[in-house]
Structure formats: structure tokens, C-alpha cells
Amino acid sequence: MTDSVDVIMDLWRHEVPELADDLWPVAIVGRIQRLSRILDRALKDLYAEHGLEVWEFDVLTTLRRSGPPYELTPGALLEAAMITSSTVTNRIDRMEAKNLVERLRDPDDRRSVRVRLTPHGMELVDRVFRLHLANEARLLPDYTPADYRRFTGELRRLLEHFDDHLDRDRATSAASAEAATPN
């Protein structure tokens, strides 16, 4: 059985035979990229059916899984979504206009706000999250539970590898920036 990545690798082997043994990363990264595009499109389509953008669903689910009272500071949302502060402000504004979230003054610190799910946002996220789970299950192949456990373990290992690299890259960047700063 072959897929589009196999075809691409065969074309490279034909065009640049001396790289044939070096193409193995394409077999993994190429498939992850292709899967990412397919999954992104399928998820985006589901959310659009319910008037949501991917990022809106991310914010709604982040707030929902935070537990009662289903609110977080913009900073906590920023950290969970890994976006810039200006982006989170803009996104909260847009979601507030759709009555999905509301801003509340933080009772412990009047200078800051908390973002809370509205009743409409709660109803929407609860309904769409169930559809989201069914959609993800539909997208996945019919593997055995043991296959899924093994596959999950390998994906976790791969993600930990990338997380470790990201952490090292951040530390290296911070050290470089500190070294470049004049005393």
C-alpha cells in the first residue's frame, strides 16, 4: 500500500538517487504535515457549521475545562493558547460581541479582568464539544484499543521530543539575548 508521501519519496529517489538513504525523515514529517492539513480542514469545517472559528473553539474549551466559574485571566488564556497579548485582547473582543464570553473585574485585583463563559457560550461549547469528539472518532481508522494505546504512546514520545527541543531553543535564545545585552 502506498500513499502520496511514498509517491513524493519515489520521485526524489528517481531525481536525486544519491539522497535515497537520507529521505527517511520525509516519511514521518511529510505524513504528519499531510495529516495536520486534513485534520485542520475537518475540524475547521465542523466549527464553521456552528459559527465558530478554530481559535474561538479553543478559547471556549479552555474556559470550559477550567471548571467553575469557567473563567480565566487573559494572561492564562494567552498562555493556554500561546498567542500574543494583542491577539488575545482582539479575540476576547470578538467573542464578547458574539455573547460567548464576558469580561468581569477581578474581585481580588480591580486593575485586572477575568474572562468568563456566558450561558450562551457554555451551551454552545457543550453542544459542539460532543460533536467534536464524534467527528474526531469518525476521522480515525478502526484500530483496536491496543493499537490506539501503542500509537498514543509513540505520539507522546514524539511530542515530548519536540517539546524538549522547543524548551532548549528558548533557553538558548534567552541566553543569547542576555549575552548580547550590554552591561
Q: Is there a single domain that holds both residue 69 and residue 124? A: yes
The answer to whether residues 117 and 72 touch, using CB atoms and an 8 Å cutoff, is no
pLDDT at 164: 85
Does 165 fall in a domain? no
Q: Give pLDDT tens digits for 82-133.
A: 666 778 888 899 999 999 999 998 888 878 899 999 999 999 999 999 999 9
Structurally, the chain folds into a number of domains equal to 2
pLDDT at 172: 74
Q: Is there a single domain that holds both residue 113 and residue 65? A: yes
Q: Is there a single domain that holds both residue 45 and residue 57? A: no
Q: What is the pTM of this model?
A: 0.79
What count of residues does the chain have?
Answer: 183
Which of 124, 140, 156 marks a domain boundary?
A: 140
Does 113 fall in a domain? yes
Q: Is there a single domain that holds both residue 39 and residue 73? A: no
Q: Is there a single domain that holds both residue 36 and residue 78? A: no
The answer to whether residues 56 and 121 touch, using CB atoms and an 8 Å cutoff, is no
Does 150 fall in a domain? no
The answer to whether residues 73 and 138 touch, using CB atoms and an 8 Å cutoff, is no
Does 153 fall in a domain? no
Does 182 fall in a domain? no
Does 146 fall in a domain? no
Domain that holds residue 29: 1-49
Distances (CA, A) of 79 to 51, 59, 88: 25, 11, 10
Radius of gyration of the chain (CA): 22
Among residues 33, 55, 35, 34, which one has the least CA distance to residue 44? 55
Q: Is there a single domain that holds both residue 44 and residue 55? A: no
